[in-house]
Structure 1
Amino acid sequence: MTAKPNTHPCIESAWQAHRGELRGFLLRHSGDRDAADDLLQGVYTKAVAHRANFCQLDYPRAWLFRVAHHQWIDQQRRARRWTGEETPEIAFEPQTATPVESLVDCINRALPGCAPDDADIIQRCDLEGMRQADYATHHDLSLPATKARLRRARQRLGERLIERCDIIFDEQGLICCHSAHRG
């Protein structure tokens, strides 16, 4: 399946870059080439239908995988293989970007709602790349205290991100995808 000439370049580019891995993802979970191709067509159709928003996405790959995941779940419901009582087991493809890189917009929205000390250490160490030892020196803290403070701040920020960004984790506990534009 190739992109149609009348689609937006952003859709064509994302589709060409991720079509193969999306098909593999759907094939592994559906177990059937025809079903995977039908689901893949549904993902493409959704991208075209949402072209205005799609072209504004920071991470179209994550959006495509999220839609593929939902297409697969819908197929399971239609086939009555899944009752909705439990989420079917599904392994997501890990993102190539690190979690901090892929969540930067959501982090920037969530950080101001964090405690000032949490926001400061995350901003300096995680987002600006300051070494923890330098942070400790500048804030008159020991290195172990800085590491503990950063770990706790990350945990609290992580809880906010899960709430605010619809984060989906893969079976290894790594972030697969998220909703970049949720409030």
Structure 2
Amino acid sequence: MNLEAIWADYQSSVKAFLYKHISNPSDVEDLLQDILIKTYQNLGTVKDTKKVKSWVFQIANHAIIDFYRKRATISKINEQVLWYETNEEDIYSQLSHCVTAFINGLPDSEAKLLTAIDIDGISQKDYAALNGMKYSTLKSRVKKSRQNLSELFNQCCELSINSKGELIDFDKRDKKCSSC
């Protein structure tokens, strides 16, 4: 059995398998290297060449399990254990100061709509009923108003969003933003 031949046959399949369970490309590449090393170190233990594929995928599966075990252990660490403490506001808190100003920068009808639904927490169905409009019409208006709000944010700030659609960072643009 030749490691290069085995790896040539199964590398892309193992990588696809890893991507099904782990979203971060860097983590996938690290695990892929770990799997290659373990395959190299233990290739001599495989007696039946027909079982090489399942053996390689078993190594990959164990690597995923170990990855999440390590991650769970790391997440249990709290600020008391760490040698430093962070007093920095999280990103959502920092941007929440701007939301009302941005909403007020929208046309009055859109500002009233988003304030009621997104800030006051009124359901869209209730808002539609209270204002005598069709629910489907309201959904379209909410979507359009949120797009307009997003455009205002993008004029003032450059938002960094991860692969899951979560906000991870922002930078104010060079020009002075009148809304925030």
Please report the TM-score for the alignment, with normalisation by the length of structure 1: 0.43
Structure with larger RCO (C-alpha < 8 A, sep 6+): 1
Please report the TM-score for the alignment, with normalisation by the length of structure 2: 0.44
